[in-house]
Structure 1
Amino acid sequence: MAELTQAEVHEALTRLGDYVRLAQAPLVSHFPQLESVVQLDERAEKLRAILLEAIEALGPPRPTSFGSPESRAREALTMRYVEEMSIEDMAAELSVSRRQVYRDLGLAEKRLTQLLSSWACPTQQGPQTAAPGDTIGEELSLFSSRPAEVQLRRVLDDALSLVQPLANELGVKLKLVSPLDERIRVVGDLAFTRQVLVRALSLAVQATTAGEIAIGVEVQDERVVLHLGFSAPEPFAFAEGLETIRRITQSQGMACEALSQSPGKVDLTLTLCRRAPKRVLIVEDNPGAVELYRRYLPVEDWQVEATSDSRVAFELIKALKPHVVILDIMMPHVDGWTVLRDLKENPQTRKTPIVICSIANDPMLARALGAAASLSKPVSQAQLLVALHRCLGE
């Protein structure tokens, strides 16, 4: 099979918004699981998902600034091909020259090509690497999360009891070195939170070169940080397992990091939220826009729900009781202006703040019909977050 080229990657990126042309992109030939898909829209959707996941994988765990070298590739590709920003707009937003934007894009596409090559069907000389979404991604997408207040002491005790047999077998002591008030609660799905704690404890038990895991708890205003201190060799032999935990925690608004306190000493931290995220309902028929908004809204702060059918917006708002709604205008069946008017005329939904995000933006009409804010596409992350926080009086 021919080698995957940067030109093929670039061509596919330029077709992200055109499903017909994306489905026929030469890049498809490097992924056998895509070539076997007959329906063009389904093939395009799968390739788009691979590209977006690869772009996300180029950077470190969010949040991070554009100035961070690890994030420049991801942000450059997102702005140019997902948000469809012009070179001039990117230069203005980032306060850099047009030449620097082109340079960043070139380097980013090179890195993306290297990553996709490792995911694609291998040549005869190379080892096969599974494409993204085959294991962890698929499981996470199928898991229905139900965030709620969880008593940390209870879920930690459950996790410790599950890992204790493994610790006994390996001769490792699990020691709680700081008191844990039973009143401390965190926000998250109970099963997910327990699973993260079990995975982290098991990883530490199997990785340590000493006979003890010191478990500490640091309570902050909006976070609880769980510290697992132990001895382990460098480089860490458990990097693969750590990456699995990171992916799981990121999907639920948590965080996992392994820090070297001193040579041979590791502090594995799990950061959990103490406050519930705000719920936002996206009424948008463009799946690309929904994906973009999801990436803009940190899962630790926002619980995102979405529908592509404007006809069900009223019922969803009554059922979900979102803190704010993001509404498109140009949609089939019922346009956004009609939805906005009807929601504001109904006593059950009139108090819900609505942010208009559309290429058919008309701020004066939006305000007259009751919208809390009105943004023109393409919308940047900063614009969207500012609008949402203002709607909530933050």
Structure 2
Amino acid sequence: MSPSAEDPDYATFEQWLHDALGQLYDPPAIQNHPLARLLAEPNANAMQRDQQLRRSILQGIERLRPEPGLAAQSPRWRSHQILELRYIAGLSPAEAMQELALSRSTYFREQARALEQLAVLLWQEWQQRQPQPAPAAQESREALARAEVERLSAHATWEDTDLAQLIESLRPIVAPLAQAKGATLAYGPAPQAALAHADRVLMRQAILGTITYALDVRQGGQVSIASFAGPGQVGIRIAAAGSRAEGRPQPHQSLGLDVCKGLMAAMGGSMEWQGDEQRWSAQLTWPEAATRSLLVIDDNEEFIDLFRRYLSGHGWRVIGATDAEAARQQLAEHVPSAIALDIMMPREDGWELLMALRASPRTQAVPVIICSVLNEPQLAGALGAAYLPKPISQMALLRALAQLALPAPSQARS
């Protein structure tokens, strides 16, 4: 299908997808849906458009299925389960909430993330099928790209975004593309403190555009993706190894990279790239988020992940430690704004660690919240700590943190 003046931008495409999902099993509505013009065959009749559009969407949901071995409670599995329950099993939002045991706010936040992943996947696949623009149309495409960057930037919403979580959310989107290109993806270890202050949607588009170019320019090679943190800034490095694919545009000729660079500039960030015949690499950098940090000390990693989900978007960076020794290592590197401490831990219980924290000049002023199934708020108060009983709800956690005597948010102290 050739591009036309009627082809949508990403925001319109995403809106069409949401509308189509709401009518997925209504053939008369789907047959003439504008999304069918993009995802069905050009010469398909009404019945075929209905079948092909539905198949494209359901196959997209299936391609977002996480690889075997990933924990069943991971965010990627939860996103996929929401899409399956809603649009394959046909459950209502209330029924899906009950099936997944999610609160209303958590469910709709996770559903929005899942729908965004599906929209980006289908958008990229449709874009991949479009012919390269003719030289005569290149200037027009560049003007449209600049206009799109300006439009997206005008609606940007700045928030604190964890790069490790952002990269994780993109994995099911880039994995099918890498497989189609015969390439492998390698993800580097992520620093816990890599938190950017930028627009999440613009970040995703810039990262996806760069990864797509890397996969194109080094087809069949390996693309590595890793986040990093430095003084006042955080970023992502993307490197592609292998021989340069014949016929692919050089970086300075790539409209996609120009768009990515424009998006980065709109966020107050930067983008640089370099390459030769054997390797191409890019670095995307954003301002570091000025935020409060919470050290969660608990031998249950799922409990630490729960804190991360609860505090996502609320101006807190969560750092985890599963025992007292790991907590001491974290405290040696960084003094958090507050500490959430479990009592029942092996080798050294929380009361012992609390006494050590109060005895150390480095940590004696850091507010501590005792999080435990044991009902001992008086003992916690006598030792200068707040108390929050398990199981913990998001509202209870936010309320407890709001009641702490905390300084204004600042960059992480060392």
TM value normalised by structure 1: 0.41
TM value normalised by structure 2: 0.40
